[in-house]
Structure 1
């Protein structure tokens, strides 16, 4: 729930309270609702077992599904409840579905290990593990295929992201372990992969071209990541690596490590958004940059997106596609199709967006 307000997650002590103080609300209920609504359209009628109250029951009730409640939780809920319910569910279901990010995935791993197939519905800020579907709709389709015995299983990586380092703009990733997850091809995301050395020259060329074409009076929203960080250096700006900053084309800094509400105060239909997809996954929006929200995208306009990526990053994607999962399914559909990606100095690739 901390993504839109610039907190980069809520796994650490006191971060939930800070997120609420900044005006954030839980995102999991809405995303769980989307997942369950889509699951209903795929014909699921019986066999759904949910955790009590806010951990599943409320969303199932709103979706109009029949369900059985399993386990007990305390209010307010915590990671202990996740562990407890997951251990109980392990004995009661064929497939365990959870909503959250990498922190929740790590809790589920501790509870069930590789004893039962698991599928993640992406609702967190840090969603780099390969046990997650690419969206709530994809998660529902994955469940349908699994229950109809149209898919096998595979081992999915659970990545441990150090949240304190993450907030300090250091991406520290470790492999926490593996869970069994459905093998449903492009409905599931890959794990994040690091940049490789031969991307450096391409990124430098991209940065030079963006700066040359920049209008000094235009406002530029700079998304997270090393590629956009290099663009910022061309503007003479030291960027927040994992946050969202805003600068003028002349290098004037308007704001650093901004929340959604702060961005909305600084942008209009003449602004530009510079963003780069996540390596190995291809996510353009909805992973690690929730501050660039549907509200921000609509205000700036999709015609004002500048998508930048080293060609080697795009070519290494399997399949070769970019993915959007903004939380607004109508906006996602507007973005889907084909887009131009700046891959070097005056060089572009046309890439499919799904």
Structure 2
């Protein structure tokens, strides 16, 4: 008789809550995020991962915590579930750690979890490198190298294991930043440890590269090209240092780690939430200026969850303006740019080649193509 694959499952139900309402994270601000209208997405994103292996239900035994920490979703999807921890209505990091300790008693073959860097830290504090883990990205900030590039990609890695493919294991860094400093506009990342993850480079994201671009002349050239093209429509200015250089050239206050709105080269909205962006741009001609996360290649879904799927559809792919230095593009070593909007259908629609602004009247063609959606 074939033994079932024992899958430990943990969902941080509050992961990513602060993203859409411009709180830059969810650590210690869950109540405020909910008050501002944020809706939990972690279960939805874990659902996207587990949907990849829905035909393997007879081969999987899921060990998880009660309710929104895993049991409800797993049972809804038809998986056999062992519940080993009863969580309160509103969970904390203490519950994550306690649930993982209980799951470990069942000797899982893999621990699959949904959350952000804070969740990865919590899990690392319990498991270290004792068992393989894999993260489903559901947080605002994902600096750690223990996550799939998208929820679907995490599911594809699990499918490889269930298919009996020869998957090596590797050590990946667990990183996190100071959210208090992050909300004040400062990125202060720190390595907290490492965990063992399946070595599937096509599907597993790299550790985020930190720091500003040192070549200020290149950034100034990119800014000059974007500004020369600007007309009188609305421009949503995304997060990151490359976009910040454009705002600096315009002489406008910029939210380095947020999303701003300008028109006629004047600031009309600062550090806007997802709801505020939808309201301000409804029925109007809008362009969106975004850049990529260094080392990872994400242009949507990392640190800019204010850019909701509804907003992106409203804007249209033809109104996306992607800016990046050639240094950052070359560092991707040919890997495509990635979109993780939270809507897999939209992610697929956004695939294709884009003209990236890399300087003054200087462009390169580069592909947006989530690797988990490309055969």
> What TM-score range do you get, normalising by the shorter chain?
over 0.9
**1:201 paired to 2:248:** no
**Larger displacement relative to structure 2 (44-53 or 160-169):** 44-53
Q: Spell out, residue by residue over 1:311-334, the C-alpha distance to the aligned partner (whole angstroms, 9 max, x if none).
A: 110011144310011010110000
Q: What is the distance in 1 between the residues matched to 2:212 and 2:305?
A: 25
Deviation at residue 47 of structure 1 after TM alignment: 2.0
**1:293 paired to 2:345:** no
Deviation at residue 19 of structure 1 after TM alignment: 0.3
Contact 2:116 2:137 in 1 (8 A): yes
**1:112 paired to 2:112:** no
Q: In the alignment, which residue of structure 1 is the partner of 2:21?
A: 5
Query: What does residue range 162-241 of structure 1 map to in structure 2 within 5 Å?
Result: 162-195=178-211, 197-215=213-231, 217-241=232-256
**Larger displacement relative to structure 2 (286-295 or 64-73):** 64-73
Deviation at residue 199 of structure 1 after TM alignment: 3.5
Deviation at residue 150 of structure 1 after TM alignment: 2.1
Match among 59, 63, 67 for residue 49 of structure 1: 63
Q: Spell out, residue by residue over 1:48-99, the C-alpha distance to the aligned partner (whole angstroms, 9 max, x if none).
A: 2222111001111221222222233223221111001112222320110110
Contact 1:45 1:65 in 2 (8 A): no
Q: In the alignment, which residue of structure 2 is the partner of 1:259?
A: 273
Q: What is the distance in 1 between the residues matched to 2:171 and 2:215?
A: 29
Q: Spell out, residue by residue over 1:120-144, the C-alpha distance to the aligned partner (whole angstroms, 9 max, x if none).
A: 0001101111000011111111112
Q: Spell out, residue by residue over 1:239-288, the C-alpha distance to the aligned partner (whole angstroms, 9 max, x if none).
A: 0100000011x322111000011011222451110000100000010110
Distance 1:234 1:84, change over 3 A: same
Q: What is the distance in 2 between the residues matched to 1:128 and 1:31?
A: 18
Q: What is the distance in 1 between the residues matched to 2:43 and 2:205?
A: 21
Q: In the alignment, which residue of structure 2 is the partner of 1:335?
A: 350
Q: What is the distance in 2 between the residues matched to 1:69 and 1:317?
A: 41
Deviation at residue 233 of structure 1 after TM alignment: 1.4
Contact 1:229 1:238 in 2 (8 A): no
| Structure 1 unaligned blocks of 5 or more | none
Contact 2:236 2:289 in 1 (8 A): yes
Deviation at residue 29 of structure 1 after TM alignment: 1.3
**1:283 paired to 2:337:** no
Match among 5, 16, 31 for residue 45 of structure 2: 31
Q: In the alignment, which residue of structure 2 is the partner of 1:85?
A: 99
Q: What is the distance in 2 between the residues matched to 1:188 and 1:44?
A: 26
**1:243 paired to 2:258:** yes
Q: In the alignment, which residue of structure 1 is the partner of 2:336?
A: 321
SS at the partner of 1:273? strand
Size of the alignment, in residue pairs?
Answer: 350
Structure-2-length-normalised TM-score? 0.90
Q: CA RMSD, aligned part only?
A: 1.5
Q: In the alignment, which residue of structure 1 is the partner of 2:171?
A: 155
Q: What is the distance in 2 between the residues matched to 1:228 and 1:218?
A: 18
Q: What is the distance in 2 between the residues matched to 1:141 and 1:323?
A: 16
Q: Spell out, residue by residue over 1:95-122, the C-alpha distance to the aligned partner (whole angstroms, 9 max, x if none).
A: 1011000010000011111111110000
Q: What is the distance in 2 between the residues matched to 1:320 and 1:26?
A: 30
Q: In the alignment, which residue of structure 2 is the partner of 1:142?
A: 157
SS at the partner of 1:47? strand
SS at the partner of 2:53? helix
Structure-1-length-normalised TM-score? 0.95
